[in-house]
Amino acid sequence: MTTFKYSRFVSVLALLVGCLSLPGFGGLAPQEELLTTTAEPGRPGGRLAIGEPFEPKTLNPLNAVDQPSLDVIRRTMADLIHINRATLKAEPALAKSWTATPDGKTLTLQLRRGIRFSDGAPFDADDVVFSFQVYLDEKVAAPQRVLLLIDDKPIKVEKLGQYTVRFSFSAPYAVGERVFDSVPVLPRHLLEKEYQEGRIKQVWTLSASPASMAGLGPFRLKSVAPGERVVLERNPYYWKVDSKGQRLPYLDELSFVMVPNTEAQVIRFMAGDIQAISPLSADGYASLAPDQQKHHYKLYDMGAGLEFNFLFFNLNEDTEGRLPEVARKQAWFRDVRFRQAVSRAIDRQAIARLAYHNRATPLVTHVTPGDKLWFDSSLAAPSQSLPEARRLLQQAGFSWKPDGALVDSHGTRVSFSILANSGNAQQTQSATLIQSDLSKLGMDVHVVTLEFRATVDRILQSHDYDVAVMRMANGDADPNPVMGILTSEGSTHVWSMGEKKPPQWQLEIDRLMQQQMITLDFRKRKKLYDQVQQILAREVPALFLVSPNILVAARENLANVRPAIMDNYILWNSDELFWRTPAGK
């Protein structure tokens, strides 16, 4: 009871202070509807510096696609309904509650009253309507737009009251509320003019002044040192309080320090320049692990995340006859027994052990064991079995020369190359291990490493490759974001782009994926998605290899560290992080 009174008292006080300091926005502001968190209450103060491998490119959510920019923007901005990174469930954020109609076509959101942007300006439904107008504008070409298209038609947004907004979908949508995650609300009072003048994508660059920016996230911009660091400071108007009634966040400052490679991050962490690494590489984990107690830091291994590494065969139809060499090899790749044989020949355990220091989990499909809601536990990662692989090859009409070389039914030596990204050491090592495994089957395999964009160009544009390894991450623990990879029409259906005559099983995947999208009941959706996973495991259009574990390092006395498997693993609850002892030492 007492805590309740206390928190009321504090919020009233905060409100008073808010009104006093900003008379311009004063007047009849409603009572602030704050969100009370359940995490361990902490002590305010201190700063946290975290390493980023690249400089954030922009502070504008309409341009941001790179991870460092998103890391920063997700601290300075907030969304209506948020996916809790720990439970992977949708939970209230700027919308305090919502109701869906039974047909799954509309969603009505009640917004938090009386809360303010980081510059003190009040927030209401107009900001929400404005934000979605911008995101849905075709001319703006915001990365969020495609998320807000259901069945290729944009979501409709209506203001029902100062704090009520209704969203309507053109078709029933299974996970309507998940759509709002990572679609930050923009401040209308700052951006409306720029939007009307068509300059909204040119604002909020790294050289923008902090005064020109505002958001609803726990932090706000303080300063940028080009190429060096981005410093955020505590947002005094943030809309969360802890169970003791203290307003979050606790940290006074959060800075993102540019450290060009992950190895250097380890060194800077050891020297104390940065206090957390997220994500930490498996190599980094191995080198930091021995000294945990001595140097007062803690390493976290959260198991498999949502990232998956996979190998796929080039099954693109070469209609113009541009690539006769590839077309010749596709005769092998199109035979499911050949693909299965390759899958059985690969030692996934060895990849996890040698390329990832045992901090990775072998996979059977793109759904990792870390995705606990959707993982089909009846499927197990295939174990290496060379006799089984030989049997499959024999069935498919392959045979062996006396010197052990594998030849197809026409007597042609089985020979192909594996394309890998040279910027990713683990991927190159995986490819080398696979090369060695396959040579035991008598295949003549070569590893070819190219720089990232050259690799992507071959995979997506020219289709001039045999087999490739790649990594992708599922943006959310939900089947919808992988539509682009799994369906034959998808824009990232890498192994066969824009398929004209998909095989039967691919049509089945397309159907199941479409159906799960409009199914509302979780158990029915899960059943549909399980079927998709089983087809993938059987037909192996792509061979899923391993999922690297989520690894994080942080100083020992940084409290409330609860690494998640999504987004920024450690910063997702940056508003709750605090230093147990002063000065962060």
Partner 1 sequence: MIRYFGRRLFHAVLVLFGVSLLMFLVQQAAPGDFLSEMRLNPQISPQALHTLRAQYGLDQPLPLRYAHWLSFVARGEFGYSFAYDMPASKLLWPRARNTLLLTVPALLISWLIAVPLGVLAAAQRGTWLGRLFSGGTSFLLAVPDVLLALLALMIALRTGLFPVGGMRSADPSHGRLADLAWHMVLPVGTLVLGSLPVILRHVRAAVSETLSSCYVRAAEGHGLRQLPLLFRHALPAAANPLISLFGISIAFLLSVSLLVETVMSWPGMGPLLLESILARDLFVVLGATMLSTLFPLAGNLIADVLLYGFDPRIRMEP
Partner 2 sequence: MRQRHVFSWAAWFLVTVNAAALLAGFVAPYNYETQDRLRPYAPPTRLHLVDCEGKFHFWPFVYMTRPGGESLTEYQEDCGQRFPVRFFLSGDGYTVLGLFSGHRHLFGVDLPARMYLLGGDGLGRDQFSRMLYGAQVSLFAGALAALLAMMGGLLVGSIAGVYGGAIDDLCMRVTEVIIAVPPFYVLLAVRAFLPLQVSAPVMFLEIVAVLGFVAWGRPARLVRGVVLGARERSFVLAAQGFGASRAYLLRRHLMPLAMNAALTQMAVSIPQIILGEVVISFLGLGMSEPVPSWGNMLAQAQQYHVLTAHWWMLLPALALVPVTLAYQALADVLGSRLQSRI
Q: Which residues bind partner 2 (CB under 8 A)?
A: 263-264, 266-267, 283-284, 286-287, 289-290, 347, 350, 353-355, 357-358, 417, 419, 422-423, 425, 428-429, 431-433, 435-436, 446-451, 454, 458, 464-466
Stretch touching partner 1 by CB under 8 A, among 161-169, 243-251, 354-362, 458-466:
458-466
By CB under 8 A, residue 468 contacts partner 1: no
- List the one residue from 236, 397, 481, 503 that touches partner 1 (CB under 8 A): 481
DSSP string, 209-263: -GGG---SSSEEEEEEETTTEEEEEE-TT-SEE-TT-PBSP--SEEEEEE-SSHH
What are 502's two structure tokens? Answer: 């998909």
Contact between 445 and 417 under an 8 Å Cβ cutoff? The reply is yes
- Helix ranges (DSSP H) in 448-550: 452-456, 483-486, 504-518, 522-539
Stretch touching partner 1 by CB under 8 A, among 57-65, 79-87, 127-135, 431-439:
57-65
How large is the C-alpha radius of gyration of the chain?
26
Q: Distance of CA 236 to CAs 26, 203, 215, 565, 575, Å?
A: 16, 24, 12, 29, 12
By CB under 8 A, residue 457 contacts partner 1: yes
CB of 276 to partner 1, least distance (A): 14
Q: Which does 146 bind (CB under 5 to 8 A by kind): partner 1, partner 2, none?
A: partner 1
CB of 221 to partner 2, least distance (A): 32
CB of 464 to partner 2, least distance (A): 6
Q: Which helix (H) or strand (E) holds 106?
A: strand 106-111
By CB under 8 A, residue 268 contacts partner 1: yes
Q: Which does 452 bind (CB under 5 to 8 A by kind): partner 1, partner 2, none?
A: partner 1
What are 478's two structure tokens? Answer: 């939900």
CB of 226 to partner 1, least distance (A): 4
Would you give the DSSP letter of residue 381? P
Sequence-ordered list of residues with C-beta below 8 angstroms from that of 318, at least 6 positions apart, any chain = 326, 327, 330, 463
**239 burial level (CB within 10 Å; 0-12, 13-18, 19+):** buried
Nearer to partner 1, 146 or 160 (CB): 146
CB of 270 to partner 1, least distance (A): 6
Q: By C-alpha distance, which of 309, 376, 305 is closest to 348?
A: 309
By CB under 8 A, residue 260 contacts partner 1: yes
Nearer to partner 2, 115 or 433 (CB): 433
Stretch touching partner 1 by CB under 8 A, among 155-163, 222-230, 349-357, 383-391:
222-230
Report d(CA 225, CA 217) in Å as an integer: 21
DSSP reduced 3-state for 214: coil
Residues that bind partner 1 (CB under 8 A): 47, 49, 54-55, 57-58, 60, 63, 65-66, 138-139, 141-147, 149, 201-202, 205-207, 225-229, 255, 257-260, 264, 267-268, 270-271, 273, 423, 451-454, 456-458, 460-462, 472, 475, 481-485, 490-492
